[in-house]
Amino acid sequence: MRAKKPTNERTGSRGASTSGGGPAAQAGMGFQNRATAWVAAHILAEQAASPPWDLSAATTLESLRCETEQPVDDLLVGTSEGGFVFVQAKHRLRLEVRADSALASAVDQFVRQFLVSQSATPGRPWERSLSPDHDRLVLLIGPHSSATIREHLASALQAKCGALASGYATQAIVSNKEEHRALRVFQDHMARSWRRLTGSELSDGCLHQLLPLIRIHTLAYGR
């Protein structure tokens, strides 16, 4: 059996940490546990499960680490193609423009992961530059997140990735103004984080390396 039981690397216990917190924190912890279980089920299913996150059809999920030391720290998933998926789980998320919003925080983690990976000294398998052919940065959200995130932003990002893959590097192919606005807010957060972390502006070249890695995935579940 290739699947590995998820371990919490900060506590040494299996599953998520049981540290205290208010209702929002507990809801977030519960959602992260659901996300962990969902990925573990995919690992156990092997070829019987379709690969998520637009990974190639032959790809299976192979390994899982929880609460990692990476900037995107909730889950680190290894694939059969030698790729890695860095997952940030958010129970509820809205499209907010504020620099201190939950969305801005998630985007900042993606930017930091990209930068860390670009400058990593080869060591562990995931310490290398990320490739859109095999790797992903996934924002995994709950079904109670806003439709602007679940539908418009997710669709706009897919359109952008398709446009870049087809050689249309200058603009995303978005179908309506809601998608355009959602993508603009997302890219503004990226540009702000890039500027803060590097001291320089986010170039089109770096943007076109980073965006194809990103996917938004809504994890549906019953009450």
Strands 136-141 and 214-218, bridge-based pairing: parallel
Number of other CB atoms surrounding residue 6 within 10 Å = 21
Q: Are 82 and 134 in contact (CB under 8 A)?
A: yes
pLDDT (average), residues 49-66:
95
pTM for this entry:
0.84
Distances (CA, A) of 195 to 72, 94, 165: 19, 23, 26
Q: Is the pLDDT of residue 11 over 50?
A: no
Q: Are 64 and 40 in contact (CB under 8 A)?
A: yes
What tens digit of pLDDT does each residue of 19-53 get?
455 666 677 788 999 999 999 999 999 999 999 99
Q: Is the pLDDT of residue 149 over 60?
A: yes
Domain boundaries, the chain: 23-218
Q: Is the pLDDT of residue 8 over 60?
A: no
Planar angle of CA 51, 109, 54, nearest 5 degrees: 15
Tokens 């637009």 sit at which residue?
54
